[in-house]
Amino acid sequence: MRDTRHLFIFSSSFLAGISTDISGFLSSIYCGSLNFDVSLKRILFTKKFISIKSKIAVTPY
């Protein structure tokens, strides 16, 4: 019981972090400010980083 509760707390905090990120991203789109550019760059960088990581994981040595 304790383990599942801990997992639930972790997942809920993780989802809260994602939702804050999304709401911040949407508000920056709404504002059309410099924050949008920063968010976009961060998203693109994260995608690039993930793709590089997956390539490294897939590539056999």
Using CB atoms within 10 A of its CB, is residue 1 exposed (0-12), middle (13-18) or buried (19+)? exposed
Residue 51: what pLDDT? 75
Residue 2: what pLDDT? 59
Q: Per the structure block, which two tokens stand in for 29?
A: 């789109």
Euclidean distance between CA atoms 43 and 27, whole angstroms:
15
Residues in the chain: 61
Residue 42: what pLDDT? 75
Region 34-52 average pLDDT: 70
Asked whether the whole model's pTM tops 0.95, one would answer: no
Residue 29 clears pLDDT 70, i.e. is over it = no
DSSP 1: -
Residue 61 clears pLDDT 60, i.e. is over it = no
Residue 36: what pLDDT? 57
How is the chain split into domains, by residue range?
2-58
Inter-residue long-range contacts of 6-12, CB under 8 Å, 24+ positions, other chains counted? none
